[in-house]
């Protein structure tokens, strides 16, 4: 569970429907660059505090609060205290909550709900104990229902990607490992390259190349947790070589691929 540069991480893929990954970490200096996930990110902070920007708005996470970051919306993160922070994260499958709650989650990503905080903590405890799959499934169901109930009264429709930017995102999502050149994308989408980049950045809060890098890191995480070696993961996830994977992985997660996999 030890990782360099003052960080500890532990990550695994539980055999629980609706959960894509469990991630426990403690960071002192690491700062996440702006990125997106295809999953819902449900996190609690055990010590310290986190500052983060979500969809260009400032937020914080600490103490008894529960934070929910919706899929496809750019966010970053950094310590809000000199001693850093410790957090536990659940990555939830997109269908667990549904796209219709994305808008409400962007507007209100923080829940000051002690019962919800306790349930998330209890789920993490169940996930760490072998043989408690049924308990984990039950607790996840209750958590999903409680979150949906809190978001639904003020829910706004899921944010639809503007036409051109949305089509480029679909193209990038379909070619995460192979990639696509800007020239090829512009030709396929019948748009000028400059207009394409500007439209995507305005719609999603980060340029196409950074979006694609984030998706590749996300794919690399899944492959590492499935037991693949970093050298094979680098190629499979679309990185030039293992050094390229390591550089970007450290930038996004604060640890090397090997340390992440060992955790």
Q: List pLDDT tens digits, range 219-253.
A: 999 999 999 999 999 999 999 899 999 999 999 99
In this structure, the answer to whether residues 67 and 139 fall within a common structural domain is yes
Closest CA relative to residue 111, chosen from 127, 94, 97, 125: 97
Mapping DSSP to helix (H, G, I), strand (E, B) and coil, where does residue 229 land?
Answer: coil
We report the CATH number of the domain holding residue 98 as: 2.60.120.10
Q: How many domains does the chain have?
A: 2
pLDDT in tens, 149-182: 999 865 444 455 669 999 999 999 999 999 988 8
pLDDT the model gives residue 248: 93
Q: Domain range spanning residue 115? A: 2-154
**Structure-block tokens of residue 235:** 């190629």
Strands (E), 18-166: 19-27, 32-35, 40-54, 57-62, 66-69, 75-79, 85-92, 110-111
**Residues 20 and 128 reside in one and the same domain:** yes
Together in a domain, 57 and 176: no
Q: In 3-state terms, what secondary structure has residue 133?
A: helix
What residues are paired with 50 via a beta bridge?
61, 79
Whether residues 21 and 108 share a domain: the answer is: yes
């Amino acid at each position: 569970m030890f990782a360099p540069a003052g960080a500890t991480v532990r990550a695994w893929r539980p055999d629980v429907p609706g959960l894509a990954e469990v991630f426990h970490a403690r960071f002192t200096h690491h700062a996440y660059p702006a990125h997106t996930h295809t999953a819902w990110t449900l996190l609690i902070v055990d010590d310290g505090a986190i500052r983060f920007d979500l969809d260009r708005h400032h937020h914080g996470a600490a103490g008894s609060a529960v934070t929910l970051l919706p899929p496809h919306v750019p966010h970053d993160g950094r310590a809000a205290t000199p001693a850093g922070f410790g957090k536990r994260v659940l990555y939830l499958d997109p269908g667990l909550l549904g796209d219709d709650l994305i808008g409400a989650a962007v507007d209100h990503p923080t829940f000051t709900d002690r019962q919800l905080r306790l349930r998330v903590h209890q789920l993490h405890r169940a996930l760490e104990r072998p043989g408690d799959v049924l308990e984990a499934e039950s607790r996840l169901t209750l958590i999903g229902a409680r979150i949906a109930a809190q978001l639904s009264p003020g829910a706004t429709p899921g944010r639809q990607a503007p036409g051109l930017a949305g089509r480029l995102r679909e193209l990038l999502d379909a070619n995460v490992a192979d990639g696509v050149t800007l020239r090829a994308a512009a030709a396929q989408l019948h748009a000028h390259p400059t207009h394409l980049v500007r439209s995507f950045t305005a719609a999603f809060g980060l340029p196409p190349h950074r979006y694609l890098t984030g998706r590749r890191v996300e794919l690399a995480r899944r492959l590492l947790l499935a037991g693949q070696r970093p050298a094979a993961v680098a190629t499979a996830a679309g990185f030039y070589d293992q050094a390229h994977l390591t550089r970007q992985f450290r930038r996004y997660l604060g640890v090397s691929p090997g340390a992440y996999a060992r955790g």
